[in-house]
Amino acid sequence: MSSTNQGADGAYPLLFERSVPGRRGVLPPATTVPVAWNPERLPASLRRARAPLLPELSELDVVRHYSGLSQRNWGVDLGFYPLGSCTMKYNPKVNEAIAALPGWQRLHPYQPEQTVQGALQILFELERDLCALTGMAQATLQPSAGAQAELLGLLLIRAHHQHHDPAHAARRRQIIVPDSAHGTNPASAAAAGYEVVQVRSNDRGLVDVKHLKELVGPQTAGLMLTNPNTLGLFEEDIETIAEIIHAAGGLLYYDGANLNAIVGIVRPADMGFDIVHLNLHKTFSTPHGGGGPGAGVIAVTPPLAPFLPGPRVEYDAAKNQYHWRAAGPWTVGRLREFYGNFGVLLRAWAYIRSLGAEGLREVARTAVLNANYCRAKLQDCLEVPYADRPCKHEFVASAREVHRRTGLHAQDLAKGLLDRGFHAPTVAFPLIVEEALMCEPTETESLQTLDAFVDALQQVVHLAYTQPDELRTAPHRAPVGRLDEVLANRHLKLRWLPDPPATGPTAEGPTP
Amino acid sequence: MAAYPQEYRYSKEHEWVKVSGNKARIGITDYAQQELGDVVFVDLPSVGDTITAGQPFAVVESVKSVSDVYAPVSGEIVAVNDHLSDSPELINQSPHDEGWICEVEMSNPAEVDELMTADEYQASVKSEAE
């Protein structure tokens, strides 16, 4: 077994492939206490026939494995990535410092209220701050992540209809989403049991109001919308859209994916939204990579508040005390145990409090300015649809012309960027723009970084016309070269299996 | 660009139909497969399912997107191209022939008349690409 971070075929070996039979990280002393554990006490159906196939490694093997991986990784702490707030903003280190304070680290969810007043105050203030920024009345911080919050938003829509018009609630089976929507919207609506109906975008890249009017009716449960939308354009007809949905008896759900563009400037409540979804890793700069934990928030107008999950924190001014208040009788119920991912919520609180109201406004203004700057500089080399007006925090360029003249795709340009020290932008999304390259620089990037990024993209486009073959096989200077995505998708390998099949332990898991 | 068989009919959602008697074989067009890129998975309908013209009945997944396949005609499915489960690339390699998706017993054969001819489809694809 190789002790380096390079396998024979050039691939990075897995922990399983580094395994050596009998090797251990820790050797505990023999116990002097009689062993009470008796597997015979478990029903046979719950017992493994074979030991699980776990890698056998020393501590140092494992440290080197992960340190090696981290050196091959790319993140915003290393350089610019144009995926923007939608993926994850830069996380200011002060948030981390605050979340690392021992008082927070040692909290236990079963502690009595009097001993966790500080934590309750954080949750209370965060809810108030997020409500102030969205114009909503109440919020729940409980959802484990954005997807769970999205599901909750839809459950609230259903609860609202069932409560106010139980006889016809079942008829309201449709959720409308724009054709530029994030894929999560139709996915969540379908998971909540709704039928998904798509409203078209018009030639200005906005919701086609005429088409929306044709789609709504007594079957409409609600509309899910981001504003600004996925093209980075502000939905100028939002008030008309809200009127149409409300007149049909439906509710308006705001997907907070693009709140970074408008935070502190305009509130979703004032646009007519009833439910606001916030993914705290987006606008509020909480960690997100590596599978979480995340934090999703759902904020609502007063009529929807009684349906929220509980408990929520309340403040008793007379006693100057914070306390838990259980959910009311109309609640849709809990989404998880306890109170949400507190460590993540704490970072969002720290972010909001360190910037203040004016600082948050400056975030939105700078994010929008940076996007417009890049877009203007890129228009010489790439088509940018809908550039007749300023964009918000992001813009979508099209490599259609490059594709027509060279056969290369937006993805090839993206791979070329990797060789120039930049992460790729989102490609092939939104689907309504051909050969899309979606760029969101965010507010944290300097003028020099933005210039360097635009230069790199211009170089790549130039390369497409002069040496297309180099891009076809890019990246050449990244830790791994061009991956065969088609092969990977057609022959899914979701877990490692020994090759050839080992005798003795296998990775088959428990045997029934 | 591949030739669009003259005897087929085409929908604006880029499906083709090959009619023989009351049966119709359905697939997606060469233009559609080019737009999708390499197909990696096809969610096939089942024999016995009823499909309705204009409604999605199958899903084609490529590296870059997931797309519904809309029924160009209505009817009951009598055969499904099981080869696509193991070899979704047939849609890319042979969209108008080996990459067929299913065969239906049409409930309203008049729907075929509303579909485009090969020439009409070719013209519409050309204008879409411009």
What is the ipTM score, two decimals? 0.72
Q: How far is B129 from chain A, CA to nearest CA, in Å?
A: 10
Strand partners, A254: A225, A276
Phi and psi at residue B30, in whole multiples of 5°?
-60, -40
DSSP characters over A422-448: -PPPEES-STTSTTEEEE---TT--HH
Q: Which two tokens stand for residue A434?
A: 């051909």
Domain with CATH 3.90.1150.10 in chain A: 362-479
Supply the pLDDT for residue A512: 35
Domain with CATH 3.40.640.10 in chain A: 117-354
Q: Is the pLDDT of residue A203 over 70?
A: yes
| Sheet (strand A395-398) strand order | A395-398, A436-439, A426-427
Every domain of chain B and the residues it spans: 9-111
B88 CB within 8 Å of a chain A CB: yes
Half-sphere exposure of A481 (CA within 13 A, CB side): 8
Q: Which two tokens stand for residue A383?
A: 């088509």
**CATH fold for the domain made of A117-354:** Aspartate Aminotransferase; domain 2 (3.40.640)
CB atoms inside a 10 Å sphere around CB A232: 25
3-state secondary structure of A30: coil
Q: How far apart are CA A399 and CA A307, in angstroms?
A: 46
Residues of A in contact with B60 (CB under 8 A): none
Give percent helix, percent strand, percent coil of chain A, each to the nearest 5: 40, 10, 50
Architecture of domain A362-479: Alpha-Beta Complex (3.90)
Q: Taking the model in full, what pTM does it have?
A: 0.87
Mean pLDDT for chain A overall:
92
Half-sphere exposure of B16 (CA within 13 A, CB side): 28
**Given an 8 Å threshold on Cβ–Cβ distance, is B41 in contact with A489?**
yes
A308 contacts A298 by C-beta, under 8 angstroms:
yes
3-state secondary structure of A202: coil
Q: Is the pLDDT of residue A130 over 50?
A: yes
Q: How far apart are CA A386 and CA A92, in angstroms?
A: 33
Supply the pLDDT for residue A472: 95
**CATH fold for the domain made of B9-111:** OB fold (Dihydrolipoamide Acetyltransferase, E2P) (2.40.50)
Provide the sign of the torsion angle of the four alpha carbons A479, A483, A489, A493, taken in this order. Answer: negative
Supply the pLDDT for residue A201: 95
B114 CB within 8 Å of a chain A CB: no
Q: How far apart are CA A343 and CA B44, in angstroms?
A: 44
Strand duo A312-316 + A296-300: pairing:
unpaired
Residues of B in contact with A489 (CB under 8 A): 38, 40-41, 61, 63
Supply the pLDDT for residue A507: 44
Size of chain B in residues = 130
B63 CB within 8 Å of a chain A CB: yes
Supply the pLDDT for residue A497: 82
Q: Is the pLDDT of residue B13 over 80?
A: yes
Q: Is the pLDDT of residue A448 over 90?
A: yes
Task: Name the pLDDT band for B50 (thresholds 50, 70, 90).
Answer: very high
**Given an 8 Å threshold on Cβ–Cβ distance, is B40 in contact with A490?**
yes
Q: Which two tokens stand for residue A314?
A: 């309340």
B112 CB within 8 Å of a chain A CB: no
Q: Is the pLDDT of residue A510 over 80?
A: no
Chain A interface, best mutation among B34, B64, B126, B128, by max A CB count within 10 A? B64
**Given an 8 Å threshold on Cβ–Cβ distance, is A490 in contact with B63?**
no
Q: Is the pLDDT of residue A145 over 50?
A: yes
Chain A interface, best mutation among B55, B63, B89, B91, by max A CB count within 10 A? B63
Residues of A in contact with B61 (CB under 8 A): 489
pLDDT mean over A403-419: 95
pLDDT mean over A79-94: 89
B104 contacts B55 by C-beta, under 8 angstroms:
no
Q: Is the pLDDT of residue A414 over 80?
A: yes
Supply the pLDDT for residue A3: 44
A400 Cβ partners below 8 Å, 6+ apart?
A383, A434, A435
Q: How far apart are CA A390 and CA A232, in angstroms?
A: 9
**Given an 8 Å threshold on Cβ–Cβ distance, is A490 in contact with B88?**
yes
